[in-house]
Amino acid sequence: MRVAIRDDDTCFFTAPESLERVYADVWDRAPICLAVVPFAIGNQRAGIPERHWSDGIAHALEGNAPLVTLLKSLVAAGRATIALHGYTHQDFPDGFEFEAAPDLTRRVREGRAYLEDLLGTRISIFVPPHNALSRAGLAAVRGEHLNLLGSFLSFHPRHRAWEWRTPINAWHVSRYRARTGRAKADRLIFPHALRYGRHAEFGCYGLVPGTTLDELVRGFDEARRAGGDFCLATHYWEVDSGLKRVMRGLLDYAAAQPGVEFVAAEALFQ
């Protein structure tokens, strides 16, 4: 069984010590997939100065030289990998970035190329801002052959562009839903990669305020019984001492199980 960790929102506004505070005792044990915003526009959240919450200015990652240095060293040491997390992470009046922004294809292509050149790495994963993705957003991601980590439009074929794998994947999910006794409205994290013609998708369990160790362990055990894999997703800026204890507890529990391997998130798609 493979276990991975995804962390969202690394960007121009991220202080290197913010990542080190959460992961300095983790990334030698489990590589962290850092979902990075290449040209961040400020929004109202912890870690972004209030003066940038509504200024509408796109801040290139390269403007934070200490962070770029840290990211390069983490990638070189195998402690982290880089995913593309939108382009600006800007919120629009009628939706989040990859639901409502114009030029989504350009944003994926240019954002990926920028990060690959700046950080000297290859990117194969896309994480939609707010885990929100329209059909047009999915088409833009598919066009670049990027895999999706932690976001699904819907498993139902009517919400997707047609290809022969679409109904097959929906059938696999439906069988798993029935086998685990879930109704259609019940929350489901499918523990296997769903493969399509130009990309694959894998769902993550969230570590957010209020998440308990018990619920993560239940999800882990369910994935393990199904012969699947597990990914934990969080935001460094939300991880306080309580959430860090939950994260550490899950990693300790996973490490104690036979046959468990901590991997970079990219391995979930292999």
Q: What is the bridge-based pairing of β-strands 2-10 and 261-262?
A: parallel
Indicate the DSSP class of residue 92: B
Give the domain ranges of the chain.
2-269
Mean pLDDT of 2-14: 98
Residues in the chain: 270
Who contacts 216 (Cβ-Cβ below 8 Å, separation ≥6)?
A: 205, 207, 232, 246, 250
Residue 155 reports pLDDT greater than 90: no
Task: Give the model's pLDDT for residue 120.
Answer: 98
pLDDT above 70 as % of the chain = 100
First to last CA, the chain: 13
Whole-angstrom CA distances from 157 to 83, 160, 168, 212 are 26, 5, 9, 33
* Nearest to 146, CA basis, from 205, 195, 199: 199
pLDDT at 152 over 80: no
Burial class (CB in 10 A: 0-12, 13-18, 19+), 116: middle
Q: Is 226 buried (19+), middle (13-18) or exposed (0-12) by CB count in 10 A?
A: middle
68-116: per-residue pLDDT in tens?
A: 999 999 999 999 999 999 999 999 999 999 999 999 999 999 999 999 9
Q: Residue 65: which residues within 8 A CB-CB, separation 6 or more?
A: none
Average pLDDT of span 7-30: 97
Residue 123, pLDDT score: 98
How many other CB atoms sit within 10 Å of the CB of residue 189? 17
Q: Is 2-269 assigned to CATH 3.40.190.150?
A: no
Contact yes or no for 31/80 (Cβ under 8 A): yes
Closest alpha carbon to 234 in 192, 268, 206, 202: 206
pLDDT in tens, 200-214: 999 999 999 999 999
Q: In the predicted model, is pLDDT for residue 153 greater than 80? A: no
- Residue indicated by tokens 């570590």: 207
Dihedral angle, C-alpha 23, 28, 30, 36, nearest 10 °: 50
**Would you list the DSSP string of 78-140?**
TSEEEEE--SS---BTTB-HHHH-S-HHHHHHHHHHHHHHHHT----EE--GGG---HHHHHH
pTM (two decimals): 0.96
Summarize the confidence of residues 171-179 as an average pLDDT: 95
